[in-house]
Amino acid sequence: MNNNRLRIAIQKSGRLSKDCQDLLKQLGVKLNLREQRLIAHSTNMPIDILRVRDDDIPGLVMDGVCDLGIVGENVLVEAQAERSGGTQNAEVIKLSKLDFGYCRLALAWPQELGPQDKSWFEGKRIATTYPEILKQYLQRENINASVVMLTGSVEVAPRAGLADAICDLVSTGATLEANGLMQGDTILESNACLIQNPNLSDNNKLALIEKLMPRLKGVKQAKE
Ligand code: PRP
Ligand code: ZN
Ligand code: MG
């Protein structure tokens, strides 16, 4: 991999992938996105696109493996909480909030239990992919519940007997509906955002970012 090229991490497959690819196109970044390749080289700018799991994007940018990343704030906040207090770099520069990828991190429980208030969670097990954000919420609300970390299929946890409730992302609500879950409090609202490694010092790369930012602003305004 050529170190002179600006490296941007995006989600390989998932809610943000299509919007990320469209955004790059609107910014004038021509790509040759071929099938399962991890890296795509731009054909008209010194840019390489790394297609990875969204959960890996904050770390890649914090560590400077990638210069920029497009990631949901939910994933960013969780990664920063996970690294806080440790020795690893947890800083990123948020260059821009993007107008896609809106979702909320919310609590949910089996519909047949009916509406519940916060006190119901006392002593319960809650499955989530966002243990740090959930723990902070529980602490804030003074709820003693245990957190079950799952990296996927969180919505089946109650039915599988792995947890009493879940804390997961809700976008359209279709996943909760399909799994017979009732939505409760929102813990965090999130959009996609563009982040940068704070130690980036390569002048050519910084100049390229300077050139792209007004375009990004233009793209966002055109959609308003
Ligand atoms: C989230 C969440 C649900 C789904 C909810 O997953 O985990 O599976 O989206 O969306 P809905 O309300 O529109 O049904 P995401 O796409 O972020 O992928 P990931 O969990 O693999 O990161
Ligand atoms: Zn994910
Ligand atoms: Mg999911």
- Reported ipTM: 0.92
Task: Judge if 93 and 116 occupy the same domain.
Answer: no
CA-to-CA distance for 38 and 12, rounded, in angstroms?
8
Say what the pLDDT of residue 194 is.
98
Reported as a single tens digit per residue, the pLDDT across 56-87 is 999 999 999 999 999 999 999 999 999 998 99
Say what the pLDDT of residue 146 is.
98
Contact 194, 216 (CB under 8 A): yes
Domain count, the chain: 2
User: Relative to the CA of 177, which ligand 1 atom is closest?
Assistant: 14
Contact 26, 219 (CB under 8 A): yes
CA of 53 to the centre of ligand 2 (A): 6
Q: Give residues whose Cβ lies within 5 Å of ion ligand 2.
A: 54-55
Which residue CA neighbors atom 2 of ligand 1 most closely?
169
Task: Judge if 25 and 93 occupy the same domain.
Answer: yes
Task: Judge if 199 and 151 occupy the same domain.
Answer: no
Average model confidence (pLDDT) for the chain?
A: 95
| Residue 95 lies in domain | 6-100+192-223
The domain that holds 164 is classified in CATH as: 3.40.190.10
Which residue CA neighbors atom 3 of ligand 1 most closely?
169
1 falls within a domain:
no
pLDDT band at 1 (very low <50, low <70, confident <90, very high): low
- Whole-number Cα distances in Å, 152 to 41, 55, 72, 149: 30, 12, 16, 9
Task: Judge if 60 and 135 occupy the same domain.
Answer: no
Reported as a single tens digit per residue, the pLDDT across 22-56 is 999 999 999 987 766 889 999 999 999 999 999 99
| Structural tokens at position 198 | 């704070």
Say what the pLDDT of residue 72 is.
98
